[in-house]
Structure 1
């Protein structure tokens, strides 16, 4: 596989991301454990046994043992997956940090056998929307400008469309929203640091932020997104994507106009024209 062009602009600084992940703490990785629950729930609904799974993850120890004999690889730009070697690939909590998310899905597709399943768990666009709003408004008020602080994350519809672009059949995308509560904005930021999910944007500020920005952001957050007890509510959107490597055995959609019966007859109703 061709390596990415080193001169191409990158949204994320992978070196910084690796450093941030290296200081992550195991007890803060609750989003990964939630993703494990989502993956296991979806696999329980699939009437098929998988014997050659692979897991793409930045935290191998969290996913170790989730799937028996799974081949676990890091979420590098080029995934160490053997083409056609797996009947299941789980891309676990890393797609939201990918500079080329379609490329990641294509690599997973190539690693699958015919009728193999891809299952992706990643963070979606509603994640940290409260913090994004508070920091953005505070920075504009205090400095008169706005800098990139929280990574843009894909919306459900857009991420579902990536599966089709990568060549997957029977694509499905759904979402689960999780909330957590924090004492204050500093508590939240410390938790994000412990998750390895702090700012790794290539265009992030390289100098310390003025203290007034965080003070004003705390006030805005508390005014708009706090519980009656004064704790700050934070949203994490967990998006799950599933798609199948195409195979002749899979169901195919009927050709438009090929139906042999009228829907109105099946429903026992009368068919009428729509009003103008």
Structure 2
């Protein structure tokens, strides 16, 4: 079987992260993650953090989000995959490896950028490059959609799967300032199939024009960042189990105090 091409150039990704100088996206992800963890009635004694995360949870083990994770099976009660799955060559494999690192009834959580992120820039760049050069080159990583994420958790055999999202809309003077900030966030283009020679200046000029024409409000362009959140539990005999179909002992209509109306044939 032929090995599929790599999505991400890992050396370029690491270089981008090392050059990062602004924690805007990381701070949002951290705050939202801690807020979700605060709702869990559990004290985690051996947490694991995967990805380019700063100190989030005290005394947590911190590892890189490499294709093969440096983890031992059933060693942690919390595995947090932080701001890295959108660059993973194998997102399902990352979740499965994280799940294997969990003790029974351990919690897996992930936060990463979703498919609505930078949709305005993606559209503007694609149109500009097509007009100027007659072709397209990969510039923004393909990111997952929330409707598909529950299936990823189930494929990793995680119980009680939950997927949700938040969307942040930011404003910039122009597309150049946005692309400059992406480099500061460590989220510049690290795709393995990216263009390896300088892009024509006219492509970016045309992109800025298209962006301002189609995605501007009150004299500034709008940029969207979607954060996706996953949560699931390592299987355990102590977890609640769904009842088998047909085992109910009371009618829903009685609980709702309403009259049941049979469907027509």
- Using the size of structure 2 for normalisation, the TM-score is 0.96
Q: Which residue of 2 aligns with 1:143?
A: 133
Q: Which residue of 2 aligns with 1:238?
A: 227
Separation of aligned partners in 2, 1:12 and 1:121: 18
Q: Which residue of 2 aligns with 1:164?
A: 154
How many pairs are equivalent? 265
Separation of aligned partners in 2, 1:100 and 1:69: 28
Q: Which residue of 2 aligns with 1:35?
A: 29
Unmatched 5+ residue regions in structure 2? none
Query: Residues 271 and 235 from structure 1, CA distance in 2 versus in 1: closer, same or farther, beyond 3 angstroms?
Result: same
Structure 1 runs of 4+ aligned residues shifted over 6 Å read: none
Q: Which residue of 1 aligns with 2:5?
A: 9
Q: Deviation of residue 79 (structure 1)?
A: 1.3
Query: Residues 72 and 233 from structure 1, CA distance in 2 versus in 1: closer, same or farther, beyond 3 angstroms?
Result: same
Q: Which residue of 1 aligns with 2:17?
A: 21
Separation of aligned partners in 1, 2:114 and 2:217: 23
Q: Which residue of 1 aligns with 2:120?
A: 130
Provide Cα deviations, 1:124-182, integer angstroms capped at 9, x if missing partner. Answer: 00000000011111111222212211110000021221111011000000000012211
Q: Which residue of 2 aligns with 1:108?
A: 98
1:191 aligns with 2:181: yes
Unmatched 5+ residue regions in structure 1? none
Separation of aligned partners in 2, 1:154 and 1:107: 19
Separation of aligned partners in 2, 1:55 and 1:36: 12
Q: Deviation of residue 275 (structure 1)?
A: 5.1
Separation of aligned partners in 2, 1:238 and 1:275: 44
Q: Deviation of residue 6 (structure 1)?
A: 11
Which of 222, 243, 247 aligns to 2:236? It is: 247
Separation of aligned partners in 1, 2:37 and 2:11: 33
1:91 aligns with 2:77: no
Q: SS of the residue aligned with 1:273?
A: coil
Q: Deviation of residue 274 (structure 1)?
A: 3.4
